[in-house]
Chain A
């Protein structure tokens, strides 16, 4: 194993595929290191299982998440405890909680992925501009980053959501708009140090335009911390979405969402129906834990010495 790793680290001197070869061996190397890390693999497993469940939800559930069995089976279908027919029990309307948890993963992952993409795109563009151009551009973008950082995440998104008409795409945008600052800060620092490197100087000397130098030469080399930040950020966005829907400002019912289920179920705790709140909570924990473990593992695998900030 160490021999392979060492082999991967040797720069490929073949001019034709130099950049491709380097990227390839870097990622193979990262994967080798990631495989050694049991916690990271556990995280990857959790994320993969939940993602597959969300994608193939109709195949692995017996009941539609919206079907209220109370209409067909009467009160017997209400608040059924977990058993062979309903693995996670049913709610007060006789809906299958297992189905609702599985379908709820779709909302969480959709918001996580879409908002992360938005915040990474904004963060990379602004961070790269700040780091590359410096001067006034840097001052303005850094100032904006600090201003955005001053707002508490949840309250800021809540206020945005209050002003926007309800709907998923606007929620992606609201979270993405608030969340880009962490990425921008990391990218700026990375670009700032990459700018001084010889390969950037070389690319500039041969007449590469600013955009070309940033996109073709700098960005591929600073991808690692961005990926780590994005992975860890997925966890916090999923947590945020569940808090929003717990507060009643998330996805509108009847679309199943984990936070909303927890809030609904909490009213029946005194009646002994613990399962309604408990299982969606486990699901959130599993998915967030998965992203956190994977993010930590990626950070170690991509660069053991690099210390990426905690982010938000």
Chain B
């Protein structure tokens, strides 16, 4: 048994190290986004004005956007902007990029939360049942379903769901946000949650199978705990570690990857904002959005890392490569 203070300092160290490790990644992300969006083959000002724009307008625009300044100065401005949460203004609507993202975010966040809730409940249940009834028809059935869930393109499954529930059965009124009621969220959440659900089911199953063979499960059983207490209190908790990683990265990816589902269901979320920006060549929005998504990803991963000790106090907090 470690002394209380000793354990706390290990944990504090771990948290501190993780927080420090995030800083160079964030700096790198900002640099990559800047490089990516600065080495544009062609002049953004010209692209925005169009081929027939007169040179004076283009020059004026270049000055407004700061494109006539040296690259390193642009980078420092960009960096400063990111730190002060100023990502510039949309080239088209002149709205601040942060505001444009913030306006769309609630729709995407609602969708991501609903999808993940669905994915976790169905994935963990399926995986647990499959592990407990190993080699039964139930096991094979869930794992085949999970394999299909991983292999089928989500947008295609979404289309088939629309055909079934909106066109054939008429249970759900249609796509879009409608009157904002939850019914409009069902199909997009199913579509978006399918892949993480399948991944979670597979990981839960393999994690449970591994854990169920361990000595401490035998100990828990021989202590006379009920089967339910053994499975939920001991086995599931330990099998959850890889699942947390999927939930974390999945949440981050959904906030960025809802692009396809938002297009399919005509939801005006952050993903749609990105697509519109790419179509309109609104480079400020593209830059802001890529950066925003990457930062969300970094922060989510940090939270995932920090949550590990809650589930497994034995985790060694040595120097590791992230998400091992």
Contacts and interface: CB of A to CB of B under 8 A. Distances in A.
B297 A151 contact: yes
B271 to A, nearest CB: 8
Nearest to B32: A147
Contacts of B152: 281, 284-285, 288
B321 A185 contact: yes
A58 to B, nearest CB: 27
A270 interface: yes
A289 B32 CA distance: 33
B25 A159 contact: no
Interface string A121-160: 0000000000000000000001110111111111110111
A247 B40 contact: no
Given A144-B28, A288-B150, 15 more contacts: A146-B28, A147-B29, A150-B25, A150-B294, A150-B298, A151-B293, A152-B253, A152-B297, A154-B260, A162-B286, A188-B321, A281-B157, A289-B151, A292-B147, A309-B324
Interface string A141-185: 011101111111111101110111100000000000000000001
B322 interface: yes
Nearest to B299: A150
B159 A277 contact: yes
Interface residues of B, number: 51
Interface of A: 142-144, 146-156, 158-160, 162-165, 185, 188-189, 235, 239, 242-243, 246-247, 249, 259, 262, 266, 269-270, 274, 277-278, 280-281, 284-285, 288-289, 292-293, 309-310
Given A146-B28, A150-B297, A165-B41, A155 B151 contact: no
B233 interface: no
Nearest to A243: B260
Contacts of A188: 321
A163 to B, nearest CB: 5
B263 interface: yes
Interface of B: 24-25, 28-29, 31-32, 36-37, 39-41, 147-148, 150-153, 155-157, 159-160, 162-163, 167, 199, 252-253, 256-257, 259-260, 263-264, 274-275, 278, 281, 286, 289-290, 293-295, 297-298, 301, 321-324
A153 B256 CA distance: 9
B257 A163 contact: no
A277 B155 CA distance: 11
Contacts of B274: 155, 158
Among A146, A153, A278, residue most surrounded by chain B Cβ atoms (within 10 Å) = A146
